[in-house]
Amino acid sequence: MKRIGVLTSGGDAPGMNACIRAVVRTALANELEVVGIRRGYAGLIRGETVPLDRRAIRNTIHIGGTILETSRSPEFRTPEGRTRAAASIEEAGLDGVVLIGGDGTFQGGSLLAEEWGIPVVGVPASIDNDVYGTDYCIGFDTAANCALNAIDRIRDTARSHDRLFFVEVMGRESGFLALESGIAGGAEELIIPEESFSPADVSARLREGFRRFGKKSAIVVVAEGEMPGRSFEIAHEIREHLGYESRVVVLGHLQRGGPPTVRDRVLGSMLGVAAVTALLDGRNGCMAGEVKGEIAYTPLGETGRVKSLDPDLMRIFPLLSE
């Protein structure tokens, strides 16, 4: 192995640049050339590459987003698109590719490896933290801290005005962000895709909290689910039952940007090193993740399996929310 590529695909996540930096430095330490592939699979199909050396990744570990840019590529989902991607890899003289992204990125990478025999290793980066095969994904900790900061600020005004606030965080199909930021922020209620939602039940619990404990304000953390902005409808439904003045805050893409936390910088660095090491060891079609503090390799085809929320966190949330 003499020359490898690295790309970022799908949604951006804080810590991606730390991972790119680690990939480059590990490759150079092993006398490998490194090529950056711009704009994910879309750029790969079009052969948009840039050489990466120490100067290219200098002073990038603290920057959010991705210096290689990213995109979603419907074309890559087709056999014709992957054929063009494989041709670009051959033309660039790449002996392997590091894929930094989420489940969609890895499903495409798995097909590329199977159809064309190209060595690929994935690194999980998703603020939703929904990739199977790793306890935490790059970007999750930064996004959770962003949500927590917002909850802390909103609680001040909720308390000052005796109001009910709905704070909507990202999480289309998973409640990891909502659960951990909700626990850390002392939220009274949690609405996540993994559990059925009943406006009447949530209203009853909030009403009981106001009655029993003398609360005059409360915060409900909502995972966006299939429809970003769903908190407005939820707030309306609960207001109909509860008759309490409420406000809605949708954090949206605020959670994606900003400097990565210590945790995401370290995780990105560690997994970047692990990905290059895997290629050098002859591994292919796998993802380098972290499970219980140790590096673990999962076949790319399995990374789309349902990743369950921590049952201990689910158990303690009702106890702490009263």
Task: Give the residue with greater pLDDT, 172 vs 178.
Answer: 178
**C-beta of residue 33 within 8 angstroms of C-beta of residue 14:** no
pLDDT of residue 214: 86
Looking up residue 248, the CATH number of its domain turns out to be 3.40.50.460
Quote the DSSP letter at residue 284. -
Classify residue 130: in a domain, yes or no: yes
Least Cα distance to 186 among 309, 308, 319 occurs for 319
| Residue 135 pLDDT level (bands cut at 50, 70, 90) | very high
pLDDT > 90? residue 149 = yes
pLDDT > 80? residue 189 = yes
Percent of the chain residues past pLDDT 70, beyond the cut? 100
pLDDT of residue 286: 97
Task: Give the residue with greater pLDDT, 278 vs 211.
Answer: 278
- Clarify whether residues 252 and 273 are in a common domain: no
Could you report the per-residue pLDDT of 219-245, keeping only the tens digit for each? Answer: 999 999 888 999 999 999 999 899 888
**C-beta of residue 47 within 8 angstroms of C-beta of residue 88:** yes
What is the C-alpha separation between 202 and 225, in angstroms, rounded? 17
Name the residues annotated as catalytic.
128
How much is the average pLDDT of 107-113?
Answer: 94
- Clarify whether residues 192 and 148 are in a common domain: yes
- Clarify whether residues 276 and 166 are in a common domain: no
- Clarify whether residues 205 and 279 are in a common domain: no
pLDDT of residue 116: 95
Classify residue 210: in a domain, yes or no: yes
Looking at the structure of the chain, the number of domains it has is 2
CA–CA distances in Å: residue 117 to residues 80, 89, 204, 210, 284: 16, 11, 57, 61, 9
Classify residue 158: in a domain, yes or no: yes
51 pairs with which residues across the strands?
A: 35
User: Burial letters for 248-273: b for 16+ Cβ neighbours within 10 Å, e otherwise?
Assistant: bbbbeeebbebebbebbbebbbbbbb
pLDDT > 80? residue 322 = no
Could you report the per-residue pLDDT of 13-44, keeping only the tens digit for each? Answer: 999 999 999 999 999 999 999 999 999 999 99
Classify residue 23: in a domain, yes or no: yes
Question: pTM for the complete prediction?
Answer: 0.95
**C-beta of residue 62 within 8 angstroms of C-beta of residue 266:** no
